Structure formats: structure tokens, C-alpha cells
Amino acid sequence: MKTDLGERERLHRLIDAVPAGELGAVERCLELFSECGDAFLQALMRAPETAEPLSDEDHEALEEGRRALRADDCVSDRELRSELGI
């Protein structure tokens, strides 16, 4: 089992290897992880993948999201809650 320091060093190396254009997405993921806690993440990891194929609309929605991420045209959960006053 790795020590906390070893895990952090490994994460730092992984982050250093992320292409510059993907750093925003990595930052948003880390924000999500830090805000949601372990119970939520474990539930996500245990959730089964759907066997239902994606529709054309699903594919378009995914591509729209990817385009927004590439253009950095999105806000974090924290920013959205702030804008909505919640």
C-alpha cells in the first residue's frame, strides 16, 4: 500500500503529464472530487454501465459538451451555485 506522500507524488507526476489543453477538465474533476466526498465517488465507481446504446441525440450532446470543454466555455459547480445563489 502506498503512503499518502507517495500517492500525492504520483498524482503530481500524472498532472504534470496532462496536456495543457486538458488542464481545465482535470481541474474540474478534482474540484468535483473534493466537493463530493468519498461516498459519492465510490457510488459512481460501483454504478453499472448502461447496456442501452447511445442515441444520435446522446452523441450530439456529448460532442457539444466536449466542444464546450475545449473552448473552456463552462463553469464549475461552485460557480454555478454562486450564480444561482444556492
Distance, CA of 28 to CA of 33 (rounded, Å): 9
pLDDT, tens only, 2-21: 456 788 888 889 889 988 88
- pTM > 0.85: no
Q: Do 24 and 65 meet the contact criterion of CB atoms below 8 Å apart?
A: no
Regions of the chain with pLDDT less than 50? 1-2
Of the candidates 34, 3, 30, which has an alpha carbon nearest to the alpha carbon of residue 18?
Answer: 30
